[in-house]
Structure 1
Amino acid sequence: MTALRQAVAQVSPAALPAFTRELDQAADEARLGSDLGPLRRFSRQWAIYVHIHRQPHLAARFRELEDRAQRGNAAQARAAAVELGRILDEAQAALSENTRS
């Protein structure tokens, strides 16, 4: 988790409090359930976050789409959600490819 924390600190220092809070929650869930699933999900989620935020143009587009999904009309929100999903899917695929290599 140290390398992931360092990556978050590098790409988005303002996200560190959320990272720490969510890590604590995932660790508690893992302990209570005797299951590493919550920590795996946490790591994957934040690895995707770092992947997106390492690319400033992609991070800016992601933030713009999040804003449109929250503030736009229904059609704009749906279109933004579709594009957000595409970006997340591509980030997930890129990370999966990197772990296979």
Structure 2
Amino acid sequence: MTTSAAGQPLIPQPPATVAALRQATSQIAPAALPTFARELDQVSDQSRKGADLAPIQRFIAQWTVYVHIQRRPEAAADLRRWEDIADSGDAAKARRAASGIGRILDEAHAAVGLPAR
């Protein structure tokens, strides 16, 4: 991952298009590209079968939020920390972690102009 000055995003927030999100993911989280491609294939198939754009729209929204978080190293680290805590097996810690994860996701949704989850 590219480094940034403290508190600064690694890259500007890209437009909410498949091509721009793929490019941004390749820059800031290249290990996520296989997941990106697999999920894009799945939603493309769903959209074709159902003649419905909703799966692709959800995919773009999901990856827009993902990129928003990953381009901010502190937010990405916080999210990973909360996810690790959620996996700890302790119910009380998992509830706190769910709250922390929710806060990060809510902030990202608001920042990119998407409705709350």
Partner of 2:96: 79
Aligned to 1:90: 107
Aligned ranges 1:61-76 → 2 under 5 Å? 61-76=78-93
Q: What is the Cα deviation at residue 11 of structure 1? A: 1.0
> What is the aligned partner in structure 2 of residue 20 from structure 1?
37
After the TM superposition, which parts of structure 1 deviate over 2 Å for at least 4 consecutive aligned residues? none
Aligned residues: 97
Instruction: Report what 1:44 is aligned to.
Output: 61
Q: Aligned letter for 2:93?
A: Q
TM-score by length of 1: 0.93
Q: Which runs of 5+ in 2 are unaligned?
A: 1-17
Report the TM-score, using the length of structure 2 for normalisation: 0.80
Structure whose residues are more often helix by fraction: 1
Aligned residues: percent identity? 57
Deviation at 1:2, TM superposition (A): 1.0
What residue identity is the alignment partner of 2:103? R
Amino acid at match of 1:56: P
